[in-house]
Amino acid sequence: MSTSVDQITQRRRGVGLIAHDPALSAHGYTLIAPQTGGGHVYLIDMQGEVVHQWKMHVRPGRHAVILPNGNLGYNGSHAHSPDRYAPWSMWHGGDFSEVTPQGEVVWRYEDPAHHHDAQWLPNGHLLYSACAPVPPGFAGRVPGGTAHGPDEVMYGDVIREVNRAGEVIWEWKAWEHLNPEDFPIAPGFGRYHWPLVNGIGVNAQGQVLMSLRTTSGIIAVDKQTGALAMHIPPSVVSHQHAPVALPNGNILTFDNGNFRTGAHVAFSRVLEIDPSNNAVVWSYADDVVNVFYSPFMGNAQRLPNGNTHVTESATGRLFEVTPAGEVVWEYIIPWFDQYPDEAARKTGPGQLNSVFQTLRYGREQLPWLPA
């Protein structure tokens, strides 16, 4: 005899709109592409109501964005990307589409080697992280990480920029520019991917920001030389995601907190960091630190009114905080399912409502949305 009690813990605690202070929150619409949502992408209003949705041909590899022209930029999971290592099926993308609000695909680009983040640049180009096997002998120079079998391949990051014709116009290979001895893999992470760029961005100087997951830290790379122009080290961040260059020159990031040095419990933070001296100039963590924690994925977005929109990815929890750290909006993603492929289910088992990133958009960015 089975119980009538819902066995999905997160759903028992409540889903949908949890809290909203209209006087203090930024208005707008939030774009959500659930990882296990089968390719459904939802746009919700501040009351948590779905005001528009798309049904894509593949599930999301990572996330979706609204482009400057109002179309959807979609990072889909490539149906024929060969498995490279155990978690690959869960976090690869590689099937990119630009889609109108009516669902018409007006541009498509594929790279089965893509994983994690991608940025749709203002000039129409696509900047994204891919990977390839490191050169012979290189893996032996990379310190740290858990045991590595003699026949296990180590993959290194390859960052690519492509134009609208699908031509690669810039490429950066981690093993050509990073000294492996300076970027050891942290204990607790495998040695199959180094340094695992899980987030990218571009700052005002045109340098490419990269979040290094398994080694911890954020770097900026000069596009002309490929050399490091900035390094926020593991002493400041802990296996973070989503580096965002703010107009004031600072870097906003979701600091996951896996294996945080000196902490007896795991917890996440949102940090604003001054890259000139690596000082944390603003941060958010819950008063009970361990109740805000996403061991994987996550992002933060600075809103026009100075508030910050936060994606606590693992729990499908989206919330907005003021500069003083007050929560003024909270929403729990109500769509739960398993990953459709067995390989991904082994790494991310259970009924999930997780999401890579979500973003808030103003009404003026959605000119096609009915009044």
Q: What percent of the chain has pLDDT over 90?
A: 93
The answer to whether residue 11 is domain-embedded is no
- Distance CA(366)–CA(52), nearest Å, equals 11
Q: In this predicted structure, what is the pLDDT of residue 125?
A: 98
What single letter denotes the amino acid at residue 320? E
Contact call for residues 39 and 74 (beta carbons, < 8 A): no
The verdict on whether omega for the bond into residue 195 sits within 30 degrees of 0, i.e. cis, is yes
- Output the pLDDT for position 347: 85
pLDDT at 342 over 90: no
Single-letter code of the amino acid located at 66: I
In a domain, 371, yes or no: no
* Domain-embedded: residue 370: no
> Is the dihedral angle over the CA atoms 368, 362, 114, 79 positive or is it negative?
negative
What pLDDT was estimated at residue 371?
A: 82
d(CA 161, CA 170): 5
Average pLDDT over residues 243-254: 98
> Cβ contacts of residue 237 below 8 Å, gap of 6+?
216, 217, 218, 253, 255, 271, 273
CA dihedral of 70, 72, 73, 77, whole degrees rounded to 10: 180
* Residue 149, pLDDT above cutoff 80: no
- CA-closest candidate to residue 131, choices 95, 77, 92, 163: 92
Is-contact 248 276, C-beta < 8 A? no
Domain that holds residue 58: 16-365
The pTM assigned to this predicted structure is 0.97
pLDDT for 76 = 97
225: left (phi over 0), alpha (psi -120 to 50) or beta: alpha
Integer-rounded Cα radius of gyration of the chain: 20
Q: What are the pLDDT digits (tens) for 257-301?
A: 999 988 999 999 999 999 999 999 999 999 999 999 999 999 999
Confidence at residue 147, expressed as pLDDT on a 0 to 100 scale: 78
Kindly list the distances between the CA atom of residue 30 and the CA atoms of 48, 78, 101, 244, in Å, as whole numbers in the listed order: 9, 25, 15, 18
Tell me the CATH number at 197: 2.120.10.30
Question: Cα separations (Å) of 195 from 47, 218, 305?
Answer: 40, 11, 35
Is the pLDDT assigned to residue 1 strictly greater than 80?
A: no
Query: What was the pLDDT predicted at 148?
Result: 73
- How many structural domains is the chain composed of? 1
